[in-house]
């Protein structure tokens, strides 16, 4: 079963059910990635949001990340925008390799989006 946002523009992160855990599955890797994003976002200025830079497509690609998800046993889903186009990257946990970076927030009139935190009000 895929854990993914119903709206790719969602500010909420996907909650993980921790009952009867197998720590070798994608949901645990998802948690580790989300913790890394939380730490990275905590250092960002109010005008910046998180993005990932990918280098596995014969070129360098920057994805403005809006949400993450996973499919057990082994897939991580990155949702967001590449060159302004809605995109989803599906990556096997054994092939995860990306650079967390920052990009200017998409809407300068709204607070910076923080995907590393659950935002109950949206």
The per-residue DSSP string of 88-102 comes to EEEEEGGG---EEEE
Return all residues near 16 (Cβ < 8 A) that are at least 6 apart.
Answer: 3, 27, 30, 31
For residues 44 and 37, what is the distance between their CA atoms, to the nearest angstrom? 11
Confidence class for position 6, pLDDT limits 50, 70, 90: low
Phi and psi at 105, nearest 5°, equal -60, 150
Q: What is the pTM of this model?
A: 0.72
Looking at the chain, how many residues does it have? Answer: 122
Confidence class for position 114, pLDDT limits 50, 70, 90: confident
Is the pLDDT assigned to residue 62 strictly greater than 70?
A: yes
The chain-wide mean pLDDT, for the chain, equals 81
The pLDDT value recorded for residue 122 is 41
Q: What is the mean pLDDT of residues 34-52?
A: 93
CA nearest to 30, candidates 120, 105, 115, 108: 115
């Amino acid at each position: 079963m895929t854990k993914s946002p119903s709206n790719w523009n969602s500010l909420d992160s996907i909650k993980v059910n921790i009952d009867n855990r197998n720590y070798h599955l994608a949901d645990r890797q998802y948690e580790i990635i989300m913790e890394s994003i939380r730490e990275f976002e905590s250092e960002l200025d109010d005008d910046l949001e998180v993005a990932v830079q990918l280098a596995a497509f014969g070129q360098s690609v920057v994805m403005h990340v809006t949400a993450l998800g996973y499919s057990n046993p082994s897939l991580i889903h990155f949702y967001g925008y590449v060159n302004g186009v809605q995109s989803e990257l599906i990556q096997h946990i054994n092939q995860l390799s990306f650079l967390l970076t920052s990009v200017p927030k998409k809407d300068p009139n709204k607070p910076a989006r923080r995907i590393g935190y659950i935002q109950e009000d949206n």
